[in-house]
């Protein structure tokens, strides 16, 4: 059973489009996160939800909007995609101190 899953795994789109990435966890965790890994492999927190409530909103452009319909799901919607949005986006969930990561979504904006 996959603990943290993301769809799609790959996403290729053109500048200006709007796209969504979905994340689901079946671990029963209350807290979920979105991280961005850039081309140099650097990982940075973007957002976090705890039980459907936004608790972290780092300095991310407001073109990025997370949504948590329930505590098992955390989706990421991106408007007006730019070249610089190309990256791997990781979803994670946590229980106490440990975070469990999804396989990542590689977004390529052309």
Partner 1 sequence: AQSVAQPEDQVNVAEGNPLTVKCTYSVSGNPYLFWYVQYPNRGLQFLLKYITGDNLVKGSYGFEAEFNKSQTSFHLKKPSALVSDSALYFCAVSGLWDHTGKLIFGQGTTLQVKP
- Which of these ranges, 11-19, 67-75, 77-85, 95-103, lies near partner 1 under the rule CB under 8 A? 95-103
Q: Does 101 bind partner 1 (CB under 8 A)?
A: yes
Sign, CA torsion 29/31/34/40:
negative
d(CA 73, CA 2): 14
In whole angstroms, how close is the CB of 55 to partner 1 at the nearest point? 5
Map tokens 């029963």 to a residue: 28
In the shown chain, the binding pattern of residues 15 to 44 toward partner 1, with x for contact by CB under 8 A and - for none, equals ----------------x-x------xxxxx
Q: Residue 12 or residue 16: which is nearer to partner 1 going by CB?
A: 12
d(CA 79, CA 82): 9
């Amino acid at each position: 059973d996959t603990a943290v899953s993301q769809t799609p795994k790959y996403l290729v789109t053109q500048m200006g489009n709007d796209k969504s990435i979905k994340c689901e966890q079946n671990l029963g965790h209350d807290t979920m996160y979105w991280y961005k890994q850039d081309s140099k492999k650097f990982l940075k927190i973007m957002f976090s939800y705890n039980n459907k409530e936004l608790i972290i909103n780092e300095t991310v452009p407001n073109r990025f909007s997370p949504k948590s319909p329930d505590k098992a799901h955390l989706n990421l919607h991106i408007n007006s995609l730019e070249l610089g949005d190309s990256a791997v986006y990781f979803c994670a969930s946590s229980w106490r101190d440990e975070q469990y990561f999804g396989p990542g979504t590689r977004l390529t904006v052309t």
